[in-house]
Amino acid sequence: MNSQIRRLYLVIVAMVMSLAMAATYIQFFAAPSLNADGRNSRTILHASERDRGPIIVAGEAIAKSEPVEGTKRFQRTYTQGQLYAAITGWFSASLRSSTGLEAAAEDVFEGDSLSLLTQRIQSLFTGSVRRGGGVVLTVDPAVQEAAAQGLAGRRGAAVALEPSTGRVLALYSSPSFDPNLLAATDTDQALAYDEELNASADRPLNNRAIAGDLYPPGSVFKLVTAAAMLESGLTPDSKVPGPASMELPGTSTVLPNVTGLPCGSQEPTLAEAFARSCNTTFALSAEKLGADVLREKARAFGFDSTLSIPLPVTSSSFPEDSDPAQMALAAIGQGKVEVTPLQMAMVGAAIANNGTLMKPYLIDSVVSADVVVQQEFSPKVLTKPINPKVAQQLRAMMVDVVDKPFGTANNISRGDGSIAAKTGTAETGRGDQTVGWIVAFAPADNPDMVVAVAVEGDESSPYAGGGSDAGPIARAMLDARAAK
């Protein structure tokens, strides 16, 4: 063999080996990540030919697959689609996309999850058509419905957690959308609806409960600031400053109390300042606490951290570096503080659960195609942001917010000290528009549910108040749970 043929032979061998190695890598190592890539439309088209498992709430399948007559394909259908759209998302062969739980639990619905190994082996030996598994959710349908009815199409969101476990009892984003129209087999219909949703000024595809645009929390953030104040040595009966207004440090900008008056008196107790939600008391506390203390307390409650429930949750943020004026604003939930309603529900849940924050989760169990439980999920501790004594003090202060005549959530009182809450009305920087907030739980002495509600003001009605707008929604959700 002459040298030229030998070199050509070596080149050909090298090319064949490269192709073999590339094929091996793609087929055996890269395949899972390529299949999971949302840009891989072949995965969606292939999945449309498989009987995906159901999404189940309280024994009812709120999402399931139905065969399309005359084809090998299945169509995803959603009972009460708008009620659960923020949770389920959609699976659409027409749009070649999936979102929400349809994407987050893809391996279960496709039957690829490790928990469904027994089902796959059984299908292999019996020769039966492979089917997907399903998930049973933690959601309480009565609480979910109360959230939807309370928001009634207004921009906002509501989240409910079981504080002792972290189970998500409700997760609703408003306005909602109908995932059935996105899952339609008529491609033109699905595309037209998708374009309509994306063009809407209400942004219904934004999951306001856990993602989308973050909100300024306003005075509900005073739960975090008050926790830091109590840990610094103050008690609910400690006297604190409560002037009618103050200048932000290093500026000529005046920060007033909402009423424009002193906080009951020039030196109220911390409990009274909290119940009245006096801005000056908590803004002045930022200078004494220091930026590091307030920032670390926020992070202990879950700020600036990633979370999956398994829906991906946008991280809530507390400013890393701020001047004294910005830190004073941060102490009252303004400035550069941004949150999801889930984050504020987590703050309330830690207080309700004696200082221990459980990791929120949405899936109770994975089931086989025959709805036999294959895997169950257990509660897990996420952090312990405060000690039990501080949690008890905060709970008592939150009861005053509801039951004291001057409390900002007095309109949701049952008159028996059974509800604890904190309200907030946050400025958004968009003209006069505000976001009304409430974090509440009941029964106050042994809470079984915490809710966080955010209601946005809009162009036609810019003001949304914590007590006036968010409060009644929270009360309806708490009553729905209590009625069970």
Q: Where residue 44 falls among pLDDT bands split at 50, 70, 90?
A: low
Is residue 340 within 8 Å of 375, Cβ to Cβ? Answer: no
The mean pLDDT value for 290-313 works out to: 96
Phi-psi label, residue 253: left if phi above 0, alpha if psi -120 to 50, beta otherwise: beta
Phi-psi label, residue 10: left if phi above 0, alpha if psi -120 to 50, beta otherwise: alpha
At 37 the pLDDT is 54
**Lookup result for tokens 């049952």:** 414
Q: Select from 307, 481, 287, 274 the least CA-distant residue to 398.
A: 274
Q: Where residue 33 falls among pLDDT bands split at 50, 70, 90?
A: low
- Which residues participate in catalysis according to the annotation? 219
The mean pLDDT value for 367-373 works out to: 80
The mean pLDDT value for 129-145 works out to: 90
Report the alpha-carbon distance of residue 195 to residue 178 in Å, rounded.
13
How many residues make up the chain in this entry?
484
Report the alpha-carbon distance of residue 166 to residue 10 in Å, rounded.
62
Report the alpha-carbon distance of residue 348 to residue 163 in Å, rounded.
8
Residue 270 structure tokens: 């911390």
Is residue 438 within 8 Å of 402, Cβ to Cβ? Answer: no
Q: Where residue 338 falls among pLDDT bands split at 50, 70, 90?
A: very high
Using the predicted structure, report yes or no on whether residue 68 has a pLDDT greater than 70: yes
Q: Where residue 182 falls among pLDDT bands split at 50, 70, 90?
A: very high
Report the alpha-carbon distance of residue 371 to residue 315 in Å, rounded.
34
The mean pLDDT value for 247-271 works out to: 93
Using the predicted structure, report yes or no on whether residue 359 has a pLDDT greater than 80: yes
pTM equals 0.88
Is residue 206 within 8 Å of 173, Cβ to Cβ? Answer: yes
CA angle 312, 318, 320 (to 5 degrees): 115
Q: Where residue 34 falls among pLDDT bands split at 50, 70, 90?
A: low
Is residue 81 within 8 Å of 160, Cβ to Cβ? Answer: no
The mean pLDDT value for 336-343 works out to: 97
At 468 the pLDDT is 95
The mean pLDDT value for 104-112 works out to: 85
Least confident of 291-295, 318-322, 473-477: 318-322
Q: How far apart are the first and last CA of the chain?
A: 88
